[in-house]
Chains A and B, each alone.
Chain A
Amino acid sequence: MMRAGWARLPRGEGPWPWLAAGSVALSLLMFSGLVLLLAVRGLGHFWPAPLSLVALEDGRLLAGQAVREERRADGAGRERLYLTANRDLDGAIWTWVDLEEIAAESRPRDLVVLERTRWGSFQGRLLALEEERGRVEGEAAWQALEARLDELQALRRERLRDQVVVPLVRRLERETSEALVAELGAANARIRELQARMGGTRLLLESVDGRQLEQPLEQVLRAWRPNAMSTPQKLAAWGQGVWRFLSEGPRAANTAGGVWPAIFGTVLMVLLMSVVVTPFGVLAGIYLNEVAHQGRFTRLVRIAVRNLAGVPSIVYGVFGLGVFVYGIGGTLDEWFFADRLPSPTFGTGGLLWASLTLALLTLPVVIVATEEGLARVPDHQREGALALGATRVEMLTRVVLPMTTPAMLTGVILAIARAAGEVAPLMLVGVAKLAPQVPVDGEFPFLHLEQKFMHLGYHIYDVAFHGGDVEAALPLVYATALLLVLVILVLNLTAIFLRHHLRARHGVLPRR
């Protein structure tokens, strides 16, 4: 009964709320559409797609994954694109098939897909597996192959060459010791032994149209029979595929494999940038707002700072190249690394210069955010501190700055968001197409600031435009783009979490 009289208040605001809500909805729709597109196209790539055996009217046979259909160029009928792989047999991996030419299509369970380190994938049948111990055929060959691949995986995971041999050689360059030489000898012997064991194994393969081929096992990364897999198996394979994409380095000139070095490079570069830009931006903001005499000069500096935020990023890249790389880097090389010249150490693009360039690029954002945060601290808070006998420095450090930290962090968040997505300046100051070694390792000084690094944004650009086969690269481009968005999201969420934490500490909740 009480409720009966309750009514919504009339809202006579006209069309404006609808327009505003509409534009918000449109932005949200576009953003979620973008993420959805990236997710479907990128993540779908890792799903073990069914493999069709297609019989054509003229008697030819082919095995391929259907990719898409299009209206034929002459307008008569439709044609379908199949990924047929087998570059070593066919010279191409794509086949267009006229729909009218298809006589029959089936999905035999014995079709296999092999992912190889050379020539890309193979699609067809496994006839036999041969090794010194003997030869197995048919279903037994498939089981033997799976077992061998598991062994091979375990061996690869040891990564003897990367993790044992290379560091040993590097140490030997600096110090000579009997023990190290012995260790190196043992490691090399083990590698040779493993190679011998795997090198002897060969697969006998046959394409669906009957051409045969011998395949050394050591070039095979993975094998699966997509038509024989159950949904849980496919899910597991998908998960593994995604994980490999995240955790492995790129292969085959970036057209295959994973993007781990690029993830690492992006995050590391952004973190270094934040470490540089935060103190500088905050100090500059404090100076402008709290220390400097508020006159025409500070106004001028403010305008300049705000305008710097609008300078195109490639201009910062040029600046970084001229000043950091050639100027400072060149000088450092002359002073400290003269023995390595003419090959440059710091006089070429690298992690450090890229981080500094991006720090410069994002400096205005941090300064402006800090200034606005400081301006929001009410004067009566400052006067309260002064009236208790605080000096200006004490007033700043004990009252004003704690109240400003959330604003400063907002500045850093904006800086990260801007920096993580920048690609253009990086091309001038240190990003590399391929740098499979991440610039952090167990070797002094652990963080190698002069090294080139990979970056997700540049990786997208490289895969999309510099690979030969755009069709094959596209799924990787989508997946990498999705990853870049996610990395930025995670970096931002971390900063937001931090800000929330600090706000709770310095804002309302107690500290005693």
Chain B
Amino acid sequence: MSVFPSPRPAAGGPIIDFEPAASCLEVEGLSLAYGETLALRDLSLRVPRQRVTAFIGPSGCGKSTLLRALNRLHDLNDEVRLSGRILLEGQDIHAPEVEVAELRRRVGMVFQAPNPFPMSIYDNVAFGLRLQGGIRKRQMDDIVEWALQSAALWDEVKERLGSSAWTLSGGQQQRLVIARTLAVRPEVLLLDEPASALDPISTLKIEELIRNLKSQLTLVLVTHNMQQAARVSDYTAFLQEGELVEYGPTDSLFTNPRLVRTENYITGRMG
């Protein structure tokens, strides 16, 4: 496919150092503007299935913008204009036959600040399932337990499923949000700096969780923490000023960056 330029060290174009065997998400020539400000410029990349892909880059470079484009959260904002295509398992997510609620079920998202709803722990996890309807109580109980276990939270909350989610600690809340998202069985999980508001121990738990989850689904992780990207991701994309700069296997990108811009960023010499 000619849309993806082959690796070339030319100045200007991005360096894309790998061709994923099985891509889950494909972004093709995506540009996005908030009103007059261009936040993403002609960005193309593929996200491999059942791997952890990290987006890194300086604050304001468009990481969150890109992530939110992947499950069409920008739809709410009248200001946003976008061009280019995003394919989920080969299908254009902006195609008229795609139902946006269904798309968001398939592409779940966890935000920077934990955002459990003001309900009980159980109700939080059951929220997405209840939207779908037609699930019996027994089955619901099972799914809730499974989701909480997948999010490594079950043991901590199994005695108090009925108490308010707001009584949990920040790290527990974030894992609850992950469990809530897992309960609707998404294919892709988008995580926007999921640990940046948490303490180091909670951060480690979340990172471990991310590593464990990739056997089940495709993960996209936005982080400004380079160590975190190096610890948990398989592939890393470096963005700067709305453009993709370099994208490749995490190991080679961190140990052997191809571009000076990338090297400057990951070694902390930001230009």
Contact = CB atoms under 8 A, between A and B. Distances in A.
B109 interface: yes
B131 A390 contact: yes
Nearest to A399: B117
A293 B76 contact: no
B101 A391 contact: yes
A12 interface: no
A429 to B, nearest CB: 42
A383, A391, A402, A506 interface centre (most CB from chain B within 10 Å): A383
Interface string A53-88: 000000000000000000000000000000000000
A378 B113 CA distance: 11
Contact of A388 (B113, B118, B128, B161): B128
Interface stretch (B46-54, B162-170, B237-245, B253-261): B162-170
Contacts of B105: 388-389
A403 B118 CA distance: 8
Contacts of A389: 101-102, 104-105, 128, 131-132, 184
A510 B118 contact: no
A327 interface: no
Given A380-B113, A394-B131, A508 B101 contact: no
B104 A386 contact: yes
A293 B115 contact: no
Contact of B76 (A386, A402, A508, A512): A386
A394 B120 CA distance: 18
Given A383-B73, A510-B164, A293 B117 contact: no
A385 B109 CA distance: 10
A378 B131 contact: no
Interface string B159-191: 001111011000000000100110010000000
B123 interface: yes
B127 A388 contact: yes
Contacts of A399: 117
B122 A512 contact: yes
Q: Main secondary structure on chain A at its contact with chain B?
A: helix
A390 B101 contact: yes
Contact of A512 (B73, B128, B161, B177): B161
B200 to A, nearest CB: 23
Interface in A378-408: 378, 380-381, 383-391, 394, 398-399, 402-403
Interface string B102-140: 101100110101011111101100011001100000000
Contact of A509 (B73, B116, B164, B184): B164
A389 B186 CA distance: 10
Contacts of B102: 389
A387 B115 CA distance: 11
A507 interface: yes
A25 B119 CA distance: 40
Contact of B111 (A293, A294, A380, A507): A380
A380 B73 CA distance: 11
Given A385-B127, A389-B104, A507 B115 contact: no
A511 interface: yes
B71 interface: yes
A414 B91 CA distance: 52
Nearest to A403: B118
Nearest to B121: A510
Given A510-B164, A512-B123, A512-B162, A380 B115 contact: yes
A387 B120 contact: no
A218 to B, nearest CB: 65
Interface residues of A, number: 26
A387 B117 contact: no
B199 interface: no
B155 interface: no
Contacts of B36: none
B78 interface: yes
Given A293-B78, A389-B132, A398-B127, A511 B120 contact: yes
Contacts of B73: 383, 386-387
A334 B128 CA distance: 54
B37 to A, nearest CB: 18
Contacts of A508: 118, 164, 166-167
Nearest to B132: A389
Interface in A351-383: 378, 380-381, 383
A294, A380, A389 interface centre (most CB from chain B within 10 Å): A389
A374 to B, nearest CB: 14
Contact of A511 (B111, B116, B123): B123
A226 to B, nearest CB: 61
A381 B109 contact: no
A390 to B, nearest CB: 5
B117 A385 contact: yes
A403 B115 CA distance: 13
B144 to A, nearest CB: 11
A294, A380, A388 interface centre (most CB from chain B within 10 Å): A388
Interface string A38-56: 0000000000000000000
Contact of B109 (A387, A507, A509): A387
B115 A510 contact: no
Contacts of B127: 385, 388, 398
Given A384-B177, A389-B105, A512-B123, 13 more contacts: A293-B78, A380-B115, A384-B116, A385-B117, A387-B108, A388-B180, A389-B184, A390-B128, A394-B131, A399-B117, A510-B119, A511-B119, A512-B120
25 contacts: A293-B78, A294-B78, A378-B115, A381-B115, A384-B111, A384-B115, A384-B117, A384-B177, A385-B117, A387-B109, A388-B104, A388-B127, A388-B131, A389-B101, A389-B131, A391-B101, A394-B131, A402-B118, A506-B118, A510-B162, A511-B119, A511-B123, A512-B120, A512-B122, A512-B161
Interface of A: 293-294, 378, 380-381, 383-391, 394, 398-399, 402-403, 506-512
Interface of B: 71, 73, 76, 78, 101-102, 104-105, 108-109, 111, 113, 115-120, 122-123, 127-128, 131-132, 161-164, 166-167, 177, 180-181, 184
Report, nearest first, the 6 A-B pairs whose CB atoms are least far apart: A389-B105, A388-B128, A510-B120, A387-B109, A380-B115, A384-B115
